Amino acid sequence: MNRLRWRCRRGMRELDMVLDRFLAQDHAALDGESKARFLELLEVTDPELYDWVLGRVSPPEHFAALVSSLQQHRPHP
């Protein structure tokens, strides 16, 4: 889990917060395929991932469920 937490460290504080909350609250409940897909998601660039999380741009279908889960962990003003 420490390695995964390290891989979730991004260049954007906002993404760090979203990913940290997701790891703490939802990651353990994912099945093996979803956990593998999450690792793929971590390869996406920060600006692209941030646009998906904010809902500015729709993610590819294979990431849609994960991005929807991540959106639940956005900080709200």
Render pLDDT for 19-66 as a digit per residue (tens, 0 to 9).
999 999 999 999 999 999 999 999 999 999 999 999 999 999 999 999
pLDDT for residue 8: 87
Closest CA to 34 of 48, 46, 22, 20: 22
Q: Look at the pTM and tell me if it is higher than 0.75.
A: yes
pLDDT for residue 56: 95
User: Does residue 77 lie within any of the structural domains?
Assistant: no
User: Does residue 11 lie within any of the structural domains?
Assistant: yes
User: Does residue 20 lie within any of the structural domains?
Assistant: yes
pLDDT band at 77 (very low <50, low <70, confident <90, very high): low
Kind and range of the H or E element at 54?
helix 46-54
Work out how many domains the chain is built from and give that number: 1
Q: Widest CA span of the chain, in angstroms?
A: 34
User: Does residue 67 lie within any of the structural domains?
Assistant: yes
User: Does residue 47 lie within any of the structural domains?
Assistant: yes
- Domain of 15, in residue numbers: 2-71
CATH number assigned to the domain comprising residue 41: 1.10.150.250
